[in-house]
Amino acid sequence: MRSFLPPQASTFAGQWDLLYDSLLLVSFLGGAILIVAMLYFIVKYRRRTDTDKTAYISHNYYLEFLWTFIPLLVFLGVFAWGAYVYYLQRKVPENAIEIGVTGWQWRWDFQYKSGKKTTNELVVPINTPVKLVMTSGDVIHSLFIPSFRTKQDAVPGMYTMLWFEANQLGTFQIFCTEFCGLQHSNMLAKLKVLPQNEFNEWLSLSDSGQGKAGDSPAQRGSALYQSKACSACHSLDGKTVIGPSFKEIFGKTELLSDGSSALVDENYIRESILNPNAKVVKGFTPGQMPPFQGQLTDDEITDLIEFIKTVK
Amino acid sequence: MAHVANATHNEDYLHHGKGLWSWMTTLDHKRIGLMYFLSILVFFFIGGIYALLIRTELIAPGSTIMGPDQYNKVMTYHGSIMVFMVIIPGIPAFLGNFLLPIMLGAKDVAFPRLNLASYYVFMLGAFISVTSLFTTGVDTGWTFYTPYSLQTKSGVILMVAGAFTMGMSSILTGLNFIVTVHRLRAPGMTMTRMPLMVWALYSTAILQVLATPVLGITLLLLIFERLFGVGIFDSTLGGDPVLFQHFFWFYSHPAVYIMILPAMGVISELIATFSRKTIFGYTAIAYSSLAIAVLSFFVWGHHLFVSGQSEWAGILFSFITMLVGVPTAIKMFNWVATMYRGSVKLDAPMLFAVGFMFLFLIGGLTGIMLATIALDVHLHDTYFVVAHFHYVMVGGTLMAFMGGIYYWFPKMFGKMVNEFPAKLSWFFIFLGFNVTFFPQFILGSLGMPRRYFDYLPEFTALNRISTVGSYLIATGFLIALGTIIHGLIAGRKATANPWGGKTLEWTIASPPIHDNFNKIPVITAGPYEYR
Ligand code: HEM
Ligand SMILES: [Cu+2]
């Protein structure tokens, strides 16, 4: 472990560090060539008399070609390597467990599928891919876990995601890295990595001080599905009523009436609730569904999405 | 009789017309340049005080000399003043105004009245921004990201209106320079005989004219959104807060090249003169300025890698950003190659050029690290980024600016500054700079986020070193100020060409006459003919 990077605690942290170290090394070597040459010339060719004559050298195509193409190749190599590690950072494994995250001035709320809610404490099992589905309740925040070498902005009115697989037990720091006002530097949270069995135990415990764990988001979403009368048009069993059925809809790619297609993810559902006519599935008539803009809170929309994910 | 008239006309520009009013209404590009100089010095002083306040607050964790609200304002004013009122106008509006017509062999810029108007528009903008201090203050950071900037204190409107106004001035200056370069070159001054400083100013002017309107519109939209809630950036009204970031960086990335290209022009001049050698790869340097200007319009998304922008867009932006590194590297190699078999003298201006090479190199290489998309995911919005952009903006632009001031001072005022204190100022600035900002690369890698009023105890030691460094820099700038004031009052008289430069400004008197040239020169060779 080195003193200028935080400890490695996620599966891609090692890859990240290798890239960082290699770039430092290449930068150091490349930079040293330039600086040493410069210092050497400064000393070797220092001015001796005020009438010194100098060589008249205007260019050298061979040299210029070399110092255009070598940096170009190096930079492109760096780019490709960076894109590869980025792919590791962004490609969420299929079996990842999901946790909801909402940033608020100035705290982090975490929401588990079981209904458990925590604030400023994210608890995850070791060696298990975890996907955070993030949004914000007010301004933009950014969730940064240095030991995992990852971060992602949490933006109001939109879902973003981040994933990791912890491979070290322990407690790690979470920072907010998007300036969000007065207590920005105090918007800290802890990330606890537990062995699977301890995690399960922790999850089943009701939150101390909060009494019994509440309904899960999906349960609350199910209630909204009834009370807001989504059920009037969207079936759960695959039958088409007025709108598309919710059965197995999440993760499906819908063909739209304008000929394009769209993946049904969190942002798609959010948009379909708030502004149903933005994307209309092929075979359905626009204008049938009322826009729910202003009628559902962001939390309620999240609950509905969680519910829709469970309709199998 | 004709003699007498001629005599007044041949008076140097500093004495051509007397009194404050003759300065305030002057159409002389040299005087307007000096007016910018004075204004920018004042802003730099204020911005510098804010910098020291920031570093002093961060000397220890917890609250040291102020509270979080004050800190956020101090950090915002430091950034906004330094960016909009010092680094952006610094070289083009001051050195550029003074030098551009002379280097082209012209008597003035194409539109002298517009030039004076630009100055007043700039000052008006600066004034509007600063008045926000006397209302609620602004605490958004110089980037004004929505939706925070829509919800926080109302001073934002004034600050943003000021930045908008200064942008207008920047556009006008850019226009003026473009037309000047195209229309007012002396006979024989082909584009490929223009000094590299002119190429740099020209590329900058193109950026100013094309990019600044986008900032203007963005800032206006922000004001509208605040006043009337039109719903462009506010997600509760159906807007998209990230759109603001796209708009903002569509200007502000080209703007970072508005900040550095003129500095690169200065460096080309300094290295040629103090190596007494023709510049190596003139064409490559000139065209790489243009290449940078063009490419810089397509890389803004590298500030948004973790904003929720699409991953494919991020990868594309990473790719194009790498391409910008190439013309930048070409310039560095050409400068070093110019010293080869030269006659190198480390006078104060050249020390600043050498300092530039060292610091800008580090800034550029860490830029490549940040452009590497995976690395940026961790490094974004940490102190690593703070260190990166100070290495380029201060280590690069400000070093070049200081070197340029020492270099052209004899031409501007007809007097020399003392070498020793000038070198001493370099020493403190260079050393202090590294002590301040190098530890910040480590802090950022360790994960310390930027714009933090308070930090975890484990970051204390590095922050303390950084704060000590900032006092060294301040010492350096105070010495520089003393050196310049002493030079103005008691400097030895300067000859027309004290450094042995070859560009046109060294062929005329120090200080120049009001009309620059008695007779418009006819150009028969390139700008760096050391044979
Ligand atoms: C080789 C050239 C350069 C490259 C590849 C480069 C790359 C980058 C990248 C990728 C970022 C985004 C980092 C992040 O936000 O996470 C960045 C930030 C920045 N760069 Fe550069 N850069 C270069 C040169 C410059 C120059 C010449 C300047 C100014 C004179 C500059 C000023 C800045 C500033 C001000 C920021 C931070 C903006 C903010 O968030 O406040 N850069 N650079
Ligand atoms: Cu940029």
Cβ–ligand 1 contact at B99 (below 6 Å) = no
Q: What is the pLDDT of residue A258?
A: 87
Ligand approaching nearest to the C-alpha of B302? 1
List all residues 6 or more positions away from B42 whose beta carbon is below 8 Å from its beta carbon. Answer: none
**B298 has a pLDDT exceeding 70:** yes
Residue A70 main-chain phi, psi, to 5 deg: -65, -50
Q: What is the pLDDT of residue A212?
A: 41
Of B450, B439, B437, the closest CA to residue B393 belongs to B437
State the DSSP string of B448-484. PBSS-SS--GGGHHHHHHHHHHHHHHHHHHHHHHHHH
pLDDT band per the 50, 70, 90 thresholds, residue B229: confident
Q: How many CA atoms lie within 13 A of B54 on its CB side?
A: 22
In this prediction, residues B339-343 reach a mean pLDDT of 92
Dump pLDDT digits (tens) for A202-253: 988 765 444 345 678 888 888 888 777 787 788 888 888 778 889 888 888 8
**In ligand 1, which atom is closest to the CA atom of B260?**
30
**B19 has a pLDDT exceeding 90:** no
Q: Specify the range with the lowest mean pLDDT, choosing from A56-60, B91-95, B425-429.
A: A56-60
Indicate the residue type of A304: L
**In ligand 1, which atom is closest to the CA atom of B397?**
30
Q: What is the pLDDT of residue A3?
A: 63
State the DSSP string of B376-445. HHHHTTBHHHHHHHHHHIIIIIIHHHHHHHHHHHHHHHSBPPPHHHHHHHHHHHHHHHHHHHHHHHHHHH
Of B256, B288, B323, B330, the residue with max ligand 1 atoms within 8 A of its CB, to mutate for a pocket test, comes to B256
Q: Compute CA distances B336 → A40, B271, B332, B357, B405, whole Å.
A: 10, 9, 6, 9, 22
Q: How far apart, in whole angstroms, are the C-alpha atoms of residue A82 and residue A66?
A: 24
Dump pLDDT digits (tens) for A172-200: 999 999 999 888 998 999 999 999 999 99
Average pLDDT, chain B: 93
Average pLDDT, chain A: 89
Measured in angstroms, the CA of A194 and the nearest CA of chain B are apart by 23
Contact B447 A175 (CB under 8 A): yes
Per-residue burial over B348-382, b = 16 or more CB atoms within 10 Å of its CB, e = otherwise: bbbbbbbbbbbbbbbbbbbbbbbbbbbbbbbbbbb
Mutation target among A8, A75, A136, A265 for the B interface, most CBs of B within 10 A: A75
Dump pLDDT digits (tens) for B372-392: 999 999 999 999 999 999 999
Q: How far is the CA of B457 from the centre of ligand 2 (A)?
A: 31
Determine contact: A85 vs chain B, CB below 8 A: yes
Q: How far apart, in whole angstroms, are the C-alpha atoms of residue B361 and residue B264?
A: 12
* Structural contact between residues B343 and A54, judged by C-beta atoms closer than 8 angstroms: yes
**A290 has a pLDDT exceeding 80:** no
Which residues 368-397 of B are in CB contact (within 8 Å) with A? 368-369, 371-375, 377-378, 380-382
Dump pLDDT digits (tens) for A71-128: 999 999 999 999 999 999 999 999 999 999 999 888 899 999 888 888 899 999 999 9
Dump pLDDT digits (tens) for B143-178: 999 889 988 877 888 998 999 999 999 999 999 999
CA dihedral B50, B56, B61, B65 (to 10 degrees): -80
Q: What is the pLDDT of residue A240?
A: 81
**In ligand 1, which atom is closest to the CA atom of B386?**
37
- pTM for this model (two decimals): 0.89
Contact B354 A42 (CB under 8 A): yes
Q: What is the pLDDT of residue A54?
A: 85
B499 vs B3, higher pLDDT: B499
Q: What is the pLDDT of residue B418?
A: 95
Mutation target among A139, A160, A292 for the B interface, most CBs of B within 10 A: A139
Q: How far is the CA of A297 from the centre of ligand 2 (A)?
A: 36
Q: Compute CA distances B179 → A153, B105, B182, B184, B186, whole Å.
A: 44, 14, 5, 8, 14
Q: What is the pLDDT of residue A216?
A: 83
Residue B382 main-chain phi, psi, to 5 deg: -110, 180
**In ligand 1, which atom is closest to the CA atom of B393?**
30
Report the percentage of chain B scoring pLDDT > 70. 98
List all residues 6 or more positions away from A126 whose beta carbon is below 8 Å from its beta carbon. Answer: A166, A167, A168, A169, A193, A194, A195, A196, A199
Q: How far apart, in whole angstroms, are the C-alpha atoms of residue A275 and residue B432?
A: 56
pLDDT band per the 50, 70, 90 thresholds, residue A293: confident
Contact A86 B374 (CB under 8 A): yes
Q: What is the pLDDT of residue B5?
A: 41
Contact B446 A68 (CB under 8 A): no
